[in-house]
Structure 1
Amino acid sequence: MRSTNFKKAVSFFALASVFSMAGCQKDELLEETAMAPTPPATSSKAVDGKYIVVLKDGSTASAPELRDRLFKKLGIGRDRVSDVFNGAADGFTGNLSKIEVQQLLQDENVAYVEPEQAVLLGKASTSSTTSTTTSTSSQSIPWGVARVGYGDGTGKTVWVIDSGVQSSHPDLNVDKTRSKSFISGVTSWEDGYGHGTGVAGVIGAKNNGVGVVGVAANATIVALRVFDDAGAGTLTRIYSALNYAYTNGKPGDVVNMSLRVAASTMLDDLVKKTAAKGMFVVVAAGNSYVDCKNDSPARVVAPNVFVVSNMNSYGQFSSSSNFGASVTNSAPGTDVLTTWTGSGYRNGTGTSFAAPHVAGILALSGGRVNSQGLVTNDPDGKPDPIALK
């Protein structure tokens, strides 16, 4: 059960992040293929009039009962509620007035009220400088995987909160039973954008003689889809996916979050709670070359939470990677070859691809990340340890 001393929080931050295949575009939520043309600018913001409400734990009433009481008390019709979630945290997302928000904040059964966050990701693009293949006749070990080390991840589980994962990719072992979509009205968790499949390959591409090898080769990937085919996502989906991983995961499992939102106390606290369960949560630091102290969940400092910056093959800190006191490790994230949709392979750049190297290490080690020296040119003056199996 959740503690009853959660402090209430309302965060009115717009989600200032975009998706880029360029590798260096500022204010990125997710970053994919290096050296590709910069996509059109994208916008992201808090959703006007829409809020996420998280209930306190410790009540003798069930979550559905508490929700019904609040709906009745405030006169909120079910038609105004877009999402309901249960698990480590219980609550709902809906259209609310400012007066209703204030009433909810004063209610003894409410832990948080935060604005919904929405992001529209830039259109993914490709260029001749980036190879995309539908098949390979031989197997390669990407430089990043070779740098951090790899091993047999059979039987290890990594929950990937992302754009989904291609279930039929010949180089991936995807759990079709536990994978799930958190997009309202969409049941498919298949990846229509590419990013999640790329992350999954770094973590656990099979050591099968073709394609590439992942850090925890043949690890079981559970795809939790929160971004749609156009690259659009919400804070509610991310929160609900992590809630699901907490509820269905077990100590020793790994959660990879190669994503970023504006400061969210409720998301940060769920990350901490998931980590306290004994699961390992890996977070991309972000790609805006700023201190990640104002980003969630990259600002989280807690046991079993690993925030990862991006370095190149020379061990140099990336000129696009975020930094800060919460960063625990640096890992390869520049021109990393990995799996992609269409049963293909593609080079990826960004902390989105650095983080899954650490996720793979944790899956293999059960919670230990060794060091192979320090990254150079870290702008915060505290060089990050380079991750090693």
Structure 2
Amino acid sequence: MRRNLLFTAAATSTAVVGSILGSGLAAAAPAVPLASGDTAPYIVVLADGADARSVAAAQADRLGLDVGHVYTSALEGYSATMTPAAATALRALPTVQSVQKDTKVSATAQTTPTGVNRADADLSPTARINGVDERVDVDVAVIDTGADLDHPDLNIYRAGAKNCSTLALSPEDGHGHGTHVSGTIGALDNGTGVVGVAPGARIWPVKVLSDLGTGLNSDVICGIDYVAAHANEIEVANMSLGGAGSDDGNCGRTDDDAMHEAICAATDAGVTFVVAAGNDSADAAESTPAAYDEVITVSALADFNGLPGGGAPSTCRADEDDTFASFSNYGTDVDLIAPGVCINSTWLNGGYNTISGTSMASPHVAGGAALYAATHPTATPDQIKAALQAAGTTDWSNADDPDGIKEKLLNVSTF
């Protein structure tokens, strides 16, 4: 059986001080007494034809400037620390085009994705989202297309990476999906890029899908088997994938469903499995692993601003804010709902991307499960599911929900 992904695709710095050319000051004139007083960094741009190195040196000597950079290619000029009086004197010289105060720049600030905000992860005392890289001590397996093993915004546990895809040679992600899922779970709270629900969680990339986003049932079982073998280290596993099937049994009687049997063994060993409901606008009972009772099945909410109440304009797709996503599967097998529309997260080559799907909703819940597991190390998968459901809210509109069941919306503020 082929298994398809459950998703829809979607510094510079400035220094100071410089050089100089014909200073515009009479050679025999005494040095201008402008070097005393408070100083500040400035950038001096010289007139066309000026020789930046000689001018910077001359002006520094005559005006008491502390020269830093000298610019000779993109423009002729220099940076320097000087008093305001010296800056005023420079502006009057014919060799000077402009003098401007130097200002600070920094790397692009970290953003909190809408889904992380809507789940109130920024209020979680365990997540501690404050721009400081304090990592949640928890291990999460991402059973997917692998991960960008060198992404600077992810805490990838390279020794735990595993390739189960018969169409791949390594756990490296050549698709993007697994990397995106990983970021929603645990992107670092390091002041850049994005942040995950459980910042800095150790990600075990388990590749079961090819770089085309497909794989075999046997590949997926290989991934589950690997997670079960490391159940003493891995607390949570996310599976943002699925295929046609149904839950015709339960643990102990799985009716020859090998994947179900494997998940039963892994959950019995203590691993909490979180899975995507599917993107077929159909009953999740028609898709596995979503239909299995032993997992936490997650449907998708359309949320465009990270806030309850609705009314926010749509961004990357035309769903209505604060409602059941138009593509999401539904039904009694769904345990929780989480944001899954226009989710910004990590991507290939150290980048970021915005995509949609129940594949994007599931890792929000996996991150929530990771937060709970980090502070409740003896909790069973059933207890973690119950805790997530108990903490969830109903503060969303299910007017467009096909089954009319208002699942609890993920909220991790108390985790």
Q: Structure 1 length as normaliser, TM-score?
A: 0.64
Tell me, in whole angstroms, the C-alpha distance in 2 between the residues paired with 1:382 and 1:251.
36
Match of 1:371 among 376, 392, 402: 392
CA deviation string 1:135-160 (max 9, x = no partner): 96210000100111221552211100
Match of 2:9 in 1: 33
Match of 2:36 in 1: none
Match of 2:109 in 1: 138
Tell me, in whole angstroms, the C-alpha distance in 1 between the residues paired with 2:366 and 2:339.
12
The one-letter code matched in structure 2 to 1:324 is: G
Structure 2: state its 5+ residue gaps. 11-105, 122-126, 129-134, 247-256, 304-320, 374-383
Tell me, in whole angstroms, the C-alpha distance in 2 between the residues paired with 1:261 and 1:136.
41
Tell me, in whole angstroms, the C-alpha distance in 1 between the residues paired with 2:401 and 2:270.
30
CA deviation string 1:305-329 (max 9, x = no partner): 2100000113310110001111000
Q: 1:251 to 1:371 in 2, by over 3 A?
A: farther
CA deviation string 1:225-276 (max 9, x = no partner): 1122233311111011001101112377000000002227221222222222
Match of 2:363 in 1: 356
CA deviation string 1:3-41 (max 9, x = no partner): xxxxxxxxxxx65x65xxxxxxxxxx321433xxxxxxx
Tell me, in whole angstroms, the C-alpha distance in 1 between the residues paired with 2:274 and 2:173.
20
Tell me, in whole angstroms, the C-alpha distance in 1 between the residues paired with 2:411 and 2:264.
24
Match of 2:332 among 301, 325, 346: 325
Contact 1:256 1:356 in 2 (8 A): yes
Q: How does 1:218-233 map to 2 (within 5 A)?
A: 218-233=200-215
Contact 2:160 2:204 in 1 (8 A): yes
Is 1:342 aligned to residue 324 of structure 2? no
Tell me, in whole angstroms, the C-alpha distance in 2 between the residues paired with 1:251 and 1:181.
18
SS at match of 2:298: strand
Structure 1: state its 5+ residue gaps. 1-13, 19-28, 35-134
The one-letter code matched in structure 1 to 2:161 is: S
Tell me, in whole angstroms, the C-alpha distance in 2 between the residues paired with 1:182 and 1:136.
37
The one-letter code matched in structure 2 to 1:349 is: S
- The number of equivalent residue pairs is 263
**Higher strand content, 1 or 2:** 1
Match of 2:151 in 1: 169
The one-letter code matched in structure 1 to 2:348 is: T
Tell me, in whole angstroms, the C-alpha distance in 2 between the residues paired with 1:228 and 1:279.
24
Match of 1:91 in 2: none
Displacement, 1:295? 1.1
Match of 2:300 among 296, 302, 310: 310
Contact 1:251 1:278 in 2 (8 A): no
SS at match of 1:386: coil
Aligned Cα RMSD in Å?
1.9
Q: Structure 2 length as normaliser, TM-score?
A: 0.60
The one-letter code matched in structure 2 to 1:310 is: A
Tell me, in whole angstroms, the C-alpha distance in 1 between the residues paired with 2:188 and 2:407.
29
Match of 2:405 in 1: 382
Q: 1:336 to 1:145 in 2, by over 3 A?
A: same
Tell me, in whole angstroms, the C-alpha distance in 2 between the residues paired with 1:186 and 1:230.
10
Report sequence identity in percent. Answer: 37
Displacement, 1:170? 0.6
Tell me, in whole angstroms, the C-alpha distance in 2 between the residues paired with 1:269 and 1:184.
21
Tell me, in whole angstroms, the C-alpha distance in 2 between the residues paired with 1:238 and 1:194.
18
Contact 1:289 1:320 in 2 (8 A): yes
Is 1:282 aligned to residue 274 of structure 2? yes
Q: 1:196 to 1:180 in 2, by over 3 A?
A: same
Q: 1:248 to 1:210 in 2, by over 3 A?
A: same
The higher radius of gyration belongs to: 2
Tell me, in whole angstroms, the C-alpha distance in 2 between the residues paired with 1:252 and 1:160.
10
Displacement, 1:383? 1.3
